[in-house]
Amino acid sequence: MAEEQNTDNNAEQNDEQEGKGGKKKKLILFGVIGLVLVATVVLALWLFGGSSSSEQAVTQAPEQASKDFSNASAPEIGNALYVGMPRPFVFIVPGDSRERTVQIKAQLMVRGEENEELAKKHIPLIEGTLHEVFSSSTADKLKTAEGKGQLRELALTEVRNALQEVAGKPVVEQVLFTSLVMQ
């Protein structure tokens, strides 16, 4: 008789534990389903949603700027596209106490698909020009933001000059450093 009561008590305890465990499992399942639904809605809105007020402001700003500055020389109109250099530039520059190794990853900003194709076509010329400009710098210049800015401007000028000779137009609007590491 005592054994039957122990068995009944154990069965009741197991049922209670399963009930608690089952509630936890259901709660976790509903939480996961809720997260999936929220993620799906956010993704659908992002993919198929209309333009927001900030996007409308961005599209209206260039029109207003062109009206305000109609007398000023405007840059070439077109989509800004980026042409990445296939390899980072690695070179050695003289430093104050020792030579430093520098690695620069760069991209070119161009306007319009025609300029993008021209830039891609002349990648070897652009790489050679950038390598000459970068390796002529010093570690002291590359340590400061002003020195990096001057290097970008010099690189832009030299790339534009090289492309002007070959392609008949400057093609590149900006030279951008996506990474600069000096050791």
pLDDT in tens, 58-78: 344 444 444 443 433 344 566
Q: Decide if pLDDT at 148 tops 80.
A: yes
Say which CATH topology domain 80-182 has: Tetrahydropterin Synthase; Chain A (3.30.479)
Instruction: Give pLDDT, residue 12.
Output: 52
Lowest-pLDDT range, 3-7, 19-23, 64-68, 137-141? Answer: 64-68
The percentage of residues in the chain with a pLDDT greater than 70, rounded to a whole number, is 67
pTM for the model: 0.56
Q: How far from 156 is each of 4, 26, 45, 108, 142, CA to CA, in Å?
A: 90, 61, 40, 9, 16
For 73, list phi and psi in degrees, rounded to 5: -75, 120
Q: What is the mean pLDDT of the chain?
A: 77
Q: pLDDT-derived band of residue 151, with 50, 70 and 90 as boundaries?
A: very high
Mean pLDDT within 43-71? 47
Helix, strand, or coil (residue 132): helix
pLDDT in tens, 126-137: 999 999 999 999
Instruction: Give pLDDT, residue 75.
Output: 46
